[in-house]
A and B are shown apart, each in its own frame.
Chain A
Amino acid sequence: MKKRWICLFVENEIGVLARIAGLFSGKSYNLDSLTVGTTEDSAISRMTIGLTSDDKTFEQIKKQLNRSIEVIKVVDYTDTPIHMKEILFVKVNCRSEEDVAELFRISNVYGVSVIDYDTTAVLLECTQTENRNNDIIALLKRKFINRIEIVRGGSVAVEAVSICER
């Protein structure tokens, strides 16, 4: 089992998201995350899909996606140089001035932004890779037990222009 990434170009039509999501649920494929949005061509939507599977299943997933009528192109991003970011908001309940100060320190070290705060809460915006976001969530969960609220958007990815590593 291995983490994989797929970039999917589809017709921007009603029901396409349901078709793709339904393919994963109907055939028991693991879907970790899926993001979708329009592209420079308003008739085309682009999805970034994160999933975990073995090699054989992954081959089958790519084929099944390809044979869906609305799918224009399937690109395997698993081992290609890409830039990938995920947006994550974390709202942390603070009990003291020290909590607030600690969150500002964390934001500095982790390279994320405090975009809003008052005396009772701090809101962090983390635009990083999924793994880095997992790390910061783990830290905040340890330090602020039962005091965090999380919303994450799923990853978006684009092929790199010049770099060879991810």
Chain B
Amino acid sequence: MEITGAELFVKALKEENVTTLFAYPGGQAIDLFDALYGEKEIDVILPRHEQGLVHAADGYARSTGKVGVCLVTSGPGATNLVTGIATANYDSVPLVCFTGQVPVHLIGNDAFQEVDIVGITRSICKYAVTVRKREDLAETIKKAFYIARTGKPGVVVVDLPKDIQKASGSGLYPKEISIRSYKPNTTVHTGQINRAIDILNHARKPVFLVGGGVNIAHANKEMTQLAELTGVPVITTIMGKGAVPTSHDLYIGNIGIHGSYAANSAISSCDVLFSIGTRFNDRITGKIETFAANAKIIHIDIDAASISRNIVVDVPVVADAKKAISVLLEKAKPLSVLDWVTQVRRWKEEYPLTMGEDGLTPKKVLDVVNGLFTDAVITTDVGQNQLWTTQFLEVDDKKQMLTSGGLGTMGYGFPAAIGAKLGNPQKDVIVITGDGGIQMNIQELATAVVYELPIIICILNNGYLGNVRQWQEMFYDRHYSSTCMRFRRSCGLGCSKPNSGCPEYTPDFIRLADSYGAKGIRVSRPEDIKAAFEIAKQNTKVPTVIEFIIDREMNVMPIVPPGNALSDMILERGEDRE
């Protein structure tokens, strides 16, 4: 029986087990929405902006392990996805983004709301394609889901011209697909694994460095087993956090320019660096010449192009993290490295990640989050709020952290939480954001309210774009250039120090929450933190905004100054170790 392209689209989503669709209509997508009208099996979510939409799909995908699916119209609908596509693709999140398009015969005519979205997204997605023939539609959608979720997951953009949506044709949807130019690696090279094991067995000061690849492969349990079997300490990147429970006694901390002293020191001193699922981004290596300078380096990654790009490695292994770790578990043995482990633990005890005790600090907020929530998804925005969360949040197999690690997208946290809550209604979902980041997608408060999503939104309000302000304070002579969120025209030019006379903050987040129909609580004293979360937990139908008024010039410490080696970090303001 012949069906329209739009009907086939809906059928395809069902065949792919899509139960939640993040969608915003428009002229060139109206047929697709018509086919979705009254659809019972697919929950169609209408966010308030396409950027919020794509971040929500991203949060849904990261927290459920399923493919996140977006549907938007042509032109501005499509271009509003761009930041979210880059965000998801950079962190290897599987998304399929359907964009409406003007009819095929109008493409290239500068038609109303026409953009070349395939051209625009080509360099920031895994694959992008315009469907030009109705008979290609089913196979293209099948291909899109397959490419998005296999290999190194990523974003696929499928551009659907309006006449393809309307055209009648076959209703068949393929069960399987094979693409000759795309054969993701599914095996593990035993010879390379044996070489890796041999090096590991001879190590005296080994560490595991674990990146986001382990979380994406859902290999957390296996990774913990591998650490326990070998007795080798584990360090994570920000994206790898949670690969082993942060409370585990072999877990040392995060590496990187805001990593812990113990983790960075262990990397600098180790003799074997066994890395899995990380691309050695510049934010984790510091000065590249001194990174793990004395170590033999083993690198397991699904993406051959990530191996020996930034860091030259001794043993490369191209493989899926979970499969590789499973093979390692068969071959690895306990190592006698107790002296080394003791040394690393001593660093961790002597130089713990901490924060001054005075007043309302982000650490105190996160301590309460750690204590109150056991089964939860915590999302962050980008900046100081993110870095503090990666430092102080405890993560285990029931608690997950979602953050924009690669692209570093402000405005990610709150919409991602909406997606996470939709995908995990039984879990508590908490956003840790800043006063800057929340305003980049604050319109999604309406989405959270109308879909009755009791998300807890923690705004750490210091009245600054704090991370940039911190750099300005430390490296740019306190030139607080365009970072003050309390600035008004009357302030004049060139402020380098906040004072008691600074203008009031706008907006008033509590009244704003109220006007959306959400709850708002302002907290200024540390003793009120817990009570605020307790109240928020009682709001089971609406989101709660908790605004924490924190010290205006609080910094993320320690920090490796730009260009420095990892071992050369500033632990506290005014004190330079090394």
Contacts and interface: CB of A to CB of B under 8 A. Distances in A.
Contact of B147 (A13, A15, A66, A69): A69
Interface in A53-68: 56, 59-60, 63-64, 66-67
Interface in B105-153: 118-119, 122-123, 126-130, 132, 147, 152
A120 B122 CA distance: 48
A90 interface: no
Interface string A90-123: 0000000000000000000000000000000000
Given A15-B122, A22-B122, A60 B181 contact: no
Nearest to B179: A69
A64 B308 CA distance: 13
B181 A67 contact: no
A69 B183 CA distance: 9
Contacts of A69: 126-127, 147, 179, 181-182
B525 interface: no
Contact of B181 (A14, A15, A22, A72): A72
Contacts of A63: 304-305
A15 B121 CA distance: 12
Interface in B176-207: 179-182
A71 B182 CA distance: 8
Contact of B118 (A10, A15, A66, A67): A15
Contacts of B181: 10-11, 69-72
A14 B130 contact: yes
Contact of B119 (A15, A67, A71): A15
A23 B123 CA distance: 7
Nearest to B118: A15
Contacts of B43: none
B339 to A, nearest CB: 37
A138 interface: no
B303 interface: yes
A72 B303 CA distance: 17
A139 to B, nearest CB: 41
Given A59-B308, A67-B303, A67-B304, A72 B180 contact: yes
For A11, A15, A69, the residue with the greatest tally of chain B CB atoms inside 10 Å of its CB is: A69
A11 B147 CA distance: 15
Contacts of A67: 152, 303-305
A59 B182 CA distance: 19
Contacts of B119: 15, 18
Contact of B304 (A14, A66, A70): A66
A70 B309 CA distance: 22
A143 B304 CA distance: 50
B159 to A, nearest CB: 11
Nearest to B132: A14
Interface residues of B, number: 21
A15 B128 CA distance: 9
A23 to B, nearest CB: 8
A67 B147 CA distance: 12
Nearest to A57: B309
Contacts, number: 41
A72 B305 CA distance: 16
Interface string B217-260: 00000000000000000000000000000000000000000000
Contacts of A13: 129
B123 A26 contact: yes
A79 B267 CA distance: 39
Nearest to B152: A67
Interface in B450-475: none
A19 interface: yes
For A13, A14, A67, the residue with the greatest tally of chain B CB atoms inside 10 Å of its CB is: A67
Contacts of B303: 67
Nearest to A71: B181
A75 B74 CA distance: 38
B319 to A, nearest CB: 15
A11 B182 CA distance: 11
Nearest to A16: B181
A74 to B, nearest CB: 11
A60 B309 contact: yes
Interface in A1-59: 10-11, 13-15, 18-19, 22-23, 26, 56, 59
B372 to A, nearest CB: 43
Contacts of A22: 122-123
A69 to B, nearest CB: 4
Contacts of B305: 60, 63-64, 66-67
A19 B122 contact: yes
For B122, B130, B132, the residue with the greatest tally of chain A CB atoms inside 10 Å of its CB is: B122
A59 B305 CA distance: 9
Nearest to B183: A72
B561 to A, nearest CB: 26
A64 B123 CA distance: 12
A69 B126 CA distance: 7
B282 to A, nearest CB: 15
Contacts of B123: 22-23, 26
Contacts of A59: 308
Contacts of B182: 69
For B126, B152, B304, the residue with the greatest tally of chain A CB atoms inside 10 Å of its CB is: B304
A64 B303 CA distance: 10
Nearest to B123: A26
A118 B172 CA distance: 64
Contacts of B152: 67
Interface string B296-333: 00000001110011000000000000000000000000
Interface of A: 10-11, 13-15, 18-19, 22-23, 26, 56, 59-60, 63-64, 66-67, 69-72
Interface of B: 118-119, 122-123, 126-130, 132, 147, 152, 179-182, 303-305, 308-309
26 contacts: A11-B181, A14-B130, A15-B118, A15-B119, A15-B129, A15-B130, A18-B122, A19-B122, A22-B122, A22-B123, A23-B123, A56-B308, A60-B305, A60-B309, A63-B304, A64-B305, A66-B304, A67-B152, A67-B304, A69-B127, A69-B147, A69-B181, A70-B181, A71-B181, A72-B180, A72-B181
Given A10-B181, A22-B122, 8 more contacts: A15-B122, A15-B128, A60-B305, A63-B305, A67-B304, A67-B305, A69-B182, A71-B181
Q: Return the 6 tightest CB-CB contacts between A and B, nearest first.
A: A63-B305, A72-B181, A69-B127, A26-B123, A63-B304, A69-B182
